Structure 1
Amino acid sequence: MNTYTHTHAHTDAAASGAAARLTREYLKGLPAGCAPERSCQTSALAGDIYGSAFLTRPVFFGRGESRELGARLSGLYDLLLTLPQRLHDGDLRAFTAALGWSPEQIAATLRPDGRPRELPRSARADLYREEDGFRLLELNGGSPLGGWDIALLNEALLREPYTASFAQEHRLDFTDGIDVLRNLWHESFPGPDPSTNPVVALLEWPESYPVMERHLRRMAGLLAAHGVEAVPCHLGQVEYRADGIHVAGRRIDVVHRWFVINDVVTAGDAALLAPLSEAADRGLVHLFTPLENEVYGTKAALALLSDQRNRSLFDRAELEVIDVLLPWTRLVRDEKVEVAGERVDLLRHALAHREDLVLKASSSHSGLDVLAGWETSADEWAGRISAAVDGPYILQRRVRPVAEDFPAPGGGPVEPAVLTWGVFLAGRGYGGAYLRGTTDLDSGVISSGRGGRLGTLFLCDDGEETP
Structure 2
Amino acid sequence: MESNPTLKAAIAHYDALLQETPTTLTESRDFLAARSAEEKMIFGGRPLSPYLRPHFITAEQWRYLCAECARIWECVEIVGRTALTDRRIYDDLGITDGEARLIEIDPGYTGISITSRLDSFLTEEAFSFVELNAENPAGISYCEVMARIFMDLPVMQRFVEKHPVMPLYARHLLLETLLTAYQEWSGGTDKPRIAIVDWEGLPTQCEFEQFQAYFQSEGFECIIAPPEKLDYHAGRLCCGDFKIDLVYRRVLTNDILERPEECKALVNAYRDRAVCVVNGFRTKFVHKKMFFGVLTDERYAALFTPEQQAAIRAHIPWTRRLAEGKTTYAGETVDLLEFIRAHQTRLVIKPNDEYGGKGVVVGWEATPAEWETAIAEGLRGDYLVQEKVPTAHEVFPHFTPEGEITFIEQLVDLDPLLFHGKVGGAFTRLSSTALCNVTSGGGMVPTFVLKD
Instruction: Give the TM-score normalised by structure 2.
Output: 0.86
Shift of 1:156: 2.0
Shift of 1:302: 1.0
Shift of 1:127: 0.9
Change beyond 3 A, Cα 1:185–1:153: same
Q: Distance in 1 between matches of 2:286 and 2:375?
A: 24
Residue of structure 2 equivalent to 1:8: none
Change beyond 3 A, Cα 1:41–1:294: farther
Q: 1:334 aligns with which of 303, 324, 327?
A: 324
1:99 pairs with 2:93: yes
Shift of 1:130: 3.1
Residue of structure 2 equivalent to 1:199: 193
1:83 pairs with 2:79: yes
Q: Distance in 2 between matches of 1:310 and 1:254?
A: 36
Q: Distance in 2 between matches of 1:164 and 1:196?
A: 41
Q: Distance in 1 between matches of 2:262 and 2:439?
A: 31
Residue of structure 2 equivalent to 1:241: 233
> 1:118-137 maps to which residues of 2 (within 5 A)?
118-137=111-130
Aligned partners of 1:39 and 1:160 also within 8 Å: yes
Aligned partners of 1:144 and 1:257 also within 8 Å: no
> 1:103-118 maps to which residues of 2 (within 5 A)?
103-111=97-105, 118=111
Q: Distance in 1 between matches of 2:80 and 2:443?
A: 38
Shift of 1:24: 2.9
Shift of 1:359: 0.7
Aligned partners of 1:92 and 1:116 also within 8 Å: no
Shift of 1:378: 0.9
Structure 2 unpaired stretches of 5+: none
Residue of structure 1 equivalent to 2:44: 49
Q: Distance in 2 between matches of 1:66 and 1:399?
A: 20
> 1:280-291 maps to which residues of 2 (within 5 A)?
280-291=270-281
Query: Over residues 404-426 of structure 1, what are the superposed CA-to-partner deviations in whole Å (9 max), with x where a residue is unaligned?
Result: 23235479675432211122111
Q: Distance in 2 between matches of 1:282 and 1:19?
A: 52
Change beyond 3 A, Cα 1:117–1:177: closer
Comparing 282-291 and 95-104, the one that deviates more: 95-104
Q: Distance in 2 between matches of 1:93 and 1:115?
A: 22
1:149 pairs with 2:139: no
Residue of structure 2 equivalent to 1:4: none
Shift of 1:193: 10
Q: 1:457 aligns with which of 431, 447, 452?
A: 447
Comparing 148-157 and 413-422, the one that deviates more: 413-422
> 1:313-392 maps to which residues of 2 (within 5 A)?
313-389=303-379, 391-392=381-382
Question: Which is bigger in relative contact order (C-alpha 8 A, separation at least 6)?
Answer: 1
Aligned partners of 2:196 and 2:250 also within 8 Å: yes
Aligned partners of 2:32 and 2:150 also within 8 Å: yes
1:25 pairs with 2:9: no
Shift of 1:152: 1.4
Q: 2:251 aligns with which of 250, 259, 263?
A: 259
Shift of 1:120: 4.5
**Moved segments of 4+, more than 6 Å:** 114-117, 192-196
Q: Distance in 2 between matches of 1:264 and 1:284?
A: 18
Structure 1 unpaired stretches of 5+: 1-12, 463-467
Aligned partners of 1:244 and 1:279 also within 8 Å: yes
Aligned partners of 1:84 and 1:92 also within 8 Å: no
Shift of 1:298: 1.3
Q: Distance in 2 between matches of 1:356 and 1:317?
A: 27
Aligned partners of 2:249 and 2:277 also within 8 Å: yes
Comparing 333-342 and 300-309, the one that deviates more: 333-342
Q: Report the secondary structure of 1:364's partner residue.
A: coil
Aligned partners of 2:349 and 2:363 also within 8 Å: yes
Amino acid at match of 2:353: S
Q: Report the secondary structure of 2:293's partner residue.
A: helix
1:397 pairs with 2:380: no
Comparing 323-332 and 223-232, the one that deviates more: 223-232
Q: Report the secondary structure of 1:327's partner residue.
A: coil
Q: Report the secondary structure of 1:368's partner residue.
A: coil
Q: Distance in 1 between matches of 2:86 and 2:248?
A: 23
Residue of structure 2 equivalent to 1:6: none
Q: Distance in 1 between matches of 2:5 and 2:218?
A: 35
Change beyond 3 A, Cα 1:272–1:71: farther
Aligned partners of 1:70 and 1:428 also within 8 Å: no
Amino acid at match of 1:259: V
Aligned partners of 1:421 and 1:435 also within 8 Å: yes
Residue of structure 2 equivalent to 1:39: 31
Amino acid at match of 2:42: G
1:70 pairs with 2:63: no
Residue of structure 2 equivalent to 1:167: 160
Query: Over residues 278-331 of structure 1, what are the superposed CA-to-partner deviations in whole Å (9 max), with x where a residue is unaligned?
Result: 433544321111122122111111111012333243221110121121112111
Amino acid at match of 2:54: P
Residue of structure 2 equivalent to 1:292: 282
Aligned partners of 2:113 and 2:282 also within 8 Å: no
Aligned partners of 1:14 and 1:129 also within 8 Å: no
Q: Report the secondary structure of 1:287's partner residue.
A: strand
1:58 pairs with 2:78: no
Q: Distance in 2 between matches of 1:152 and 1:286?
A: 27
Change beyond 3 A, Cα 1:184–1:275: same
Amino acid at match of 1:423: P
Q: 1:416 aligns with which of 409, 418, 429?
A: 409
Q: Report the secondary structure of 2:208's partner residue.
A: helix
Aligned partners of 1:202 and 1:232 also within 8 Å: yes
Number of residue pairs the alignment of both structures matches = 440
Q: Distance in 2 between matches of 1:342 and 1:245?
A: 54
Q: Distance in 2 between matches of 1:278 and 1:133?
A: 45
Q: Distance in 2 between matches of 1:151 and 1:194?
A: 30
Identity of aligned residues (%): 20
